[in-house]
């Protein structure tokens, strides 16, 4: 299951990881975000996946230019590797690291 983290955990869990890390920027009130949730949970069985609530961590969302949600950003070696906005299939999300 994907883990909800705050901006405080972001540096240690995302930016310091050597692996591909999927970060799902979401909001509880967002319908497409709720639909993407189970897909991200499934992906988390074989990948690092974290969720950031844009309402609670507005500064982090602003720092990464998240203007629309759901927004999935893949990080590798502390840098943004790829980005996807909107509801996507599991295959589309996984193709972000290819």
List per-residue pLDDT tens for the chain, 98 residues long: 899 999 889 999 999 999 999 999 999 999 999 999 999 999 999 999 999 999 999 999 999 999 999 999 999 999 999 999 999 999 999 999 98
Please confirm, yes or no, whether 71 is among the known catalytic residues.
no
Q: Is residue 44 exposed (0-12), middle (13-18) or buried (19+ Cβ within 10 Å)?
A: middle
> Which residue in 5, 14, 23, 30 is the catalytic one?
30
> Which residue in 5, 14, 21, 33 is the catalytic one?
33
d(CA 7, CA 93) in angstroms, rounded, equals: 23
Confidence (pTM): 0.95
Domain 3-93, architecture per CATH: 3-Layer(aba) Sandwich (3.40)
d(CA 25, CA 29) in angstroms, rounded, equals: 12
Residue 53's DSSP bridge partners are 26
């Amino acid at each position: 299951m994907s883990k909800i983290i705050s901006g405080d955990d972001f540096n240690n869990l995302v930016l310091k990881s050597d692996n591909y890390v999927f970060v799902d920027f979401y909001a509880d009130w967002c319908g497409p975000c709720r639909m993407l949730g189970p897909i991200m949970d499934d992906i988390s069985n074989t990948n690092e996946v974290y969720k950031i609530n844009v309402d609670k961590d507005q500064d982090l969302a602003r720092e990464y230019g998240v203007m629309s949600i759901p927004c999935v950003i893949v990080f590798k070696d502390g840098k943004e590797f790829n980005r996807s906005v909107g509801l996507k299939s599991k295959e589309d999300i996984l193709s972000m690291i290819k």
